[in-house]
Structure 1
Amino acid sequence: MARIAVIGAGMGALAAAARLAVAGHRVTVYERTGTYGGALRRFERDGFSFDTGPGLLPLPAVWRDLFVKTGKEPLERCVELVQVDPSSRHLFADGTEAVLPNASRAGVVGALDEALGPGAGQRWGDFLVRAREAWDRTRRPLLEEPLWPDWRVLAEREPYPAVPHKRLLRTRRAGTLAEIGAWELRDARLAALLESHALAHGLDPRTAPASAAVLPYMEHAFGTWYVRGGLRELARAVYERCLARRVEFRFDTEVTAVREKDGRAAGVELADGAVDEAEFVVAGVAPGVLDRLTAGTAVRGADDVPARPGAASRLAVLLALRGARPEGAAHRTVVHAPDREAELDALFGGTGAAVRPTVTVLRPDDPALIPDADHEAAVLTATVPAGTSGSEAWADQLIAAAGRAVPGLRDRLLWHEVRTPADVAEVTGAAGGAVPAPALAAAGGRLLRPANGTRTGGLFTVGGWSHPGGGLPHAGMSGALVAGLIVEGPEFRGSQ
């Protein structure tokens, strides 16, 4: 039985802690803030309750597996999972609208044909078939296995089977998500639908590899889910599972250094000067924080995937509304930007201007979030550059865009709260509030994350800034991978 120090109480760190405790280790989690869950936080005011991080749960099987492996009580006994149907409503720039059912290829094909014209649904359906090939080729190495030592194979090989496209007497294949939209989907609205999945993860579809097709495929294949009471309830359930497995938590406790002895991690040093010894240290922190904790020790080598910082963050506007939620209102509506190129230039071109962005409107049908049936709680989110200031200007743009999804929105508005990149930075420690994207193949390795093991023996990294990248499913798998590497050693090859 080893003593294990876990730095941070984000979802990946909690997943690792629970699995390691079940394996018989003594696990202590050190969290510099006063609570658990990383970005899965909650804001409450006047009887209203809001998720301030992710609001929907993709691929819940990852978390079901955690609960199966760490105790007899399954996930569904700890939280109430609801499949969101319709999966999403899309309001496009030209005024057309599409409502897409959850996890139904035939239903989506029919809905897109009806909304966008004959043939649109078939093109999207054919795209999903190709996206499945990319998923099948990358699922294990990018989600279920430790990062390959020869990770450059993943960096160089594009797994998406792009359709040959003749252009100016040349045959080309789509290498980016934007090229898939232009050459294979051949409809600006389908392209916007495709690109919105990349944008939600802070990726520029003009440079995101074609393998990013797995993002909409995951939603299509495994559905979109909501946790009653908000996704903070998932964090609570995982935290309580850790407590049940006798994980010790020390909140409001900042780790200032990882102690090293004879080339191995030997414990952690705390802000008050205390030193806690440990045989293993698991760091669930952003790259800049890890560098500070290991000052003078090169835990990444020249042959490792570079720990590239994220470039995008998230802005959320929390709306308290008078009046009941209309019956039949979609849980999620995506209001697409009127000018996609202007939006992408503002987000990724360095201008940072508060243009009219793509806005996701979440309107859960959940009595736990409101003071009574005569009110509604809604959350607006948009991708913004990391370090964005002038949040009220951005917030006004989000509210204006959301008016298309919620008629009479401004008249119904009681008050609103804004959660900025600075708030994300405060919670996660990531510079500028950057949010890591999921690991993706190709693109020269730009979207791969460093391996969970480091060049310092006994020191591992977990969470969105290490393999397999950002997102709730990836966080859960990150915890599983780290636990496997510690319990089984370097021969561990992932879940079977």
Structure 2
Amino acid sequence: MARIAVIGAGMGAMATAARLAVAGHRVTVYERGDTYGGSLGRHARDGFAFDTGPGLLHLPAVYRDLFVKTGKRPLEDCVDLVQVDPAVRHLLADGTGVSLPNASRGGVAAVLDEVFGAGAGARWSGVLGRAREAWDRTRRPLLEEPLWPNWEVLGREPYPALRGSGLLRRRPPTLAEVARRELGGPLAALLEVPALERGLAPAAVPASAAILPYMEHTFGSWYVRGGMRALATAVFERCRERKVEFVLGAQVREVLVRDGRAAGLLLADGTEVAADTVVCGAAPGPLVAPALRGGRWPGGAVPPRPGGPSRFTVFLALRGPRPGGTVHRTVVHSPDLAAEARTAFAGEHTERPTVTVLRPDDPTTRPDAAHEAVTVSAVCAPQGVLDWTDPSLVARYTERLLDAATRALPDLRERLLWHEVRTPADVEAATGAPGGAVPAPSLAGSGAAFLHPSNAAPLAGLYLAGGWSHPGGGLPHAGMTGALVTGLIVEGPDFRGSQ
């Protein structure tokens, strides 16, 4: 039985802790904050409740597998999973509205033909068919296996070229080029928005990012009754059932190194914690770099990615009931997605942004049936690039999000009781992520520029879990790190992924 210290109590860290405990190790989690769950927080006021992080779960099989492998009670016995249908409603810049059914490619194609004209569904199905090929080529190395030692091979673009397009004659295409040439018109925005929502600029990411909408359409969109925080609570309780210990309010200052391997943690209060193995479930740069060869990530390894964009969120308490037939998730598109992606990540976006409006049909989110809780959010530059402690900046962004949200909620202003905001500075304070950055999922292509560090760090006894390591950010990807890190620790460096 090894002593394992886990830094952070985010979803990837807890998934790793539960699996390691089942494998017979003594696991202790050290969390800087006063609660577990990382980005899956919950904000409550006056009987209203809001998720502070992801509002939906895609690829629930990751957490089903976690619960199967760590106990007798399956996921569905621990949380109430609800399929969201329609999966999403898009309100395009030209005023077009389109609601896409959940996990039904044929249904989506029929809707697109109806809204955009005959042939639109076939073009969309063609793009997703090529995305499926990219998924089949990269699923194991990107999601189910530790990062290969020759990880550079993942720099090749897996998205197949459309015959006659000429896209691959000069260079591999970006997602924006695929959207424009294979779909065109307003339909192109449906392919770009899933990347934009994850903090990826469609004109800068490889065509393999088409995997993101493919995953949504194939595996569906799911909500957890009681809010997504309930999923974090279920994983936390599973950890406790497996005798994982949690130490909250424990800021980790650095990873201790003895005899060339990780040997424990130094806490902010000066306490030293001995451990045989350390798992870093937080952003690894500030914590891990000093322990590696003079503070530098060694050559030949994928270094930690610099902090990316964050999210600006507005919680809305509304008077009046949630109307029947209301869509759970609506995406209100910016007038210019390309301009938004160029500016929103690097500075102040002065136009109306692309916003996601979440309106769950969940009595636990509101004081009674005569009220409604709504969450509106948009991707934005992190703290540091902009000063999100500036009240005037916060006020401007709040108004831009509210203006955009009125396209989905025309009576928003009349129904508004109160609103609260969550800025990138608030995200940084709550999660510890530098600048409040939200990690993006790993992607193949672009010379491997969109990979994250391997789960086995270049220091014996040190491993990385969570969204800042392979295979990147997002609830499914973070959960996958649990199986990868556990396999590497239990089976050793010859572990080649789940079978």
Q: Shared topology, TM-score over 0.5?
A: yes
Structure 1 segment 94-493 matched on structure 2, within 5 A: 94-155=94-155, 157-166=156-165, 175-187=173-185, 189-291=186-288, 294=291, 297-298=294-295, 300-348=297-345, 350-387=346-383, 388=386, 389=388, 390-493=393-496
Find the residue that maps to 2:344 and give its secondary structure: helix
Find the residue that maps to 2:253 and give its secondary structure: strand
- Over aligned residue pairs, what C-alpha RMSD do you find? 1.6
Question: How far did 1:217 drift?
Answer: 0.4
Q: Normalising by structure 1, what TM-score?
A: 0.96
Cα deviation 1:229-249 (Å, max 9, x = unaligned): 110000000000000000000
Provide the C-alpha distance between the structure 1 equivalents of 2:193 and 2:398, rounded to a whole number of angstroms. Answer: 19
- Contact 2:33–2:430 under 8 Å retained in 1: yes
Q: Normalising by structure 2, what TM-score?
A: 0.96
Structure 1 segment 75-86 matched on structure 2, within 5 A: 75-86=75-86
Is residue 38 from structure 1 mapped to residue 34 from structure 2 by the alignment? Answer: no
Gap runs ≥5 in structure 2 = none
Provide the C-alpha distance between the structure 1 equivalents of 2:216 and 2:18, rounded to a whole number of angstroms. Answer: 27
Provide the C-alpha distance between the structure 2 equivalents of 1:494 and 1:14, rounded to a whole number of angstroms. Answer: 19
Q: 257-266 or 143-152, which moves further after superposition? A: 257-266
Provide the C-alpha distance between the structure 1 equivalents of 2:131 and 2:171, rounded to a whole number of angstroms. Answer: 14
Provide the C-alpha distance between the structure 1 equivalents of 2:308 and 2:6, rounded to a whole number of angstroms. Answer: 26
| Aligned residue type for 2:180 | A
Provide the C-alpha distance between the structure 1 equivalents of 2:331 and 2:313, rounded to a whole number of angstroms. Answer: 14
- Contact 1:79–1:234 under 8 Å retained in 2: yes
- Contact 1:11–1:476 under 8 Å retained in 2: yes
Find the residue that maps to 1:307 and give its secondary structure: coil
Provide the C-alpha distance between the structure 2 equivalents of 1:18 and 1:307, rounded to a whole number of angstroms. Answer: 25
| Aligned residue type for 1:306 | P
| Aligned residue type for 2:192 | E
Cα deviation 1:362-414 (Å, max 9, x = unaligned): 00000011000000001011110112432221121111111010121111011
Provide the C-alpha distance between the structure 2 equivalents of 1:173 and 1:411, rounded to a whole number of angstroms. Answer: 51
Provide the C-alpha distance between the structure 2 equivalents of 1:287 and 1:443, rounded to a whole number of angstroms. Answer: 23
Provide the C-alpha distance between the structure 1 equivalents of 2:363 and 2:226, rounded to a whole number of angstroms. Answer: 8
Provide the C-alpha distance between the structure 2 equivalents of 1:78 and 1:351, rounded to a whole number of angstroms. Answer: 42
| Aligned residue type for 2:157 | E
- Contact 1:299–1:456 under 8 Å retained in 2: no
In structure 1, the residue matched to 2:27 is 27
Find the residue that maps to 2:479 and give its secondary structure: helix
Sequence identity percentage: 64
- Contact 2:284–2:464 under 8 Å retained in 1: no
Gap runs ≥5 in structure 1 = none
- Contact 2:10–2:281 under 8 Å retained in 1: yes
- Contact 2:157–2:172 under 8 Å retained in 1: no
| Aligned residue type for 2:7 | I
| Aligned residue type for 2:113 | D
Cα deviation 1:11-64 (Å, max 9, x = unaligned): 000000000000010000000110000000000000000001000000000000
- Contact 1:345–1:351 under 8 Å retained in 2: no
Cα deviation 1:137-179 (Å, max 9, x = unaligned): 1110000000000000001x110012034569x9667611001
Is residue 9 from structure 1 mapped to residue 6 from structure 2 by the alignment? Answer: no
Provide the C-alpha distance between the structure 1 equivalents of 2:151 and 2:472, rounded to a whole number of angstroms. Answer: 14
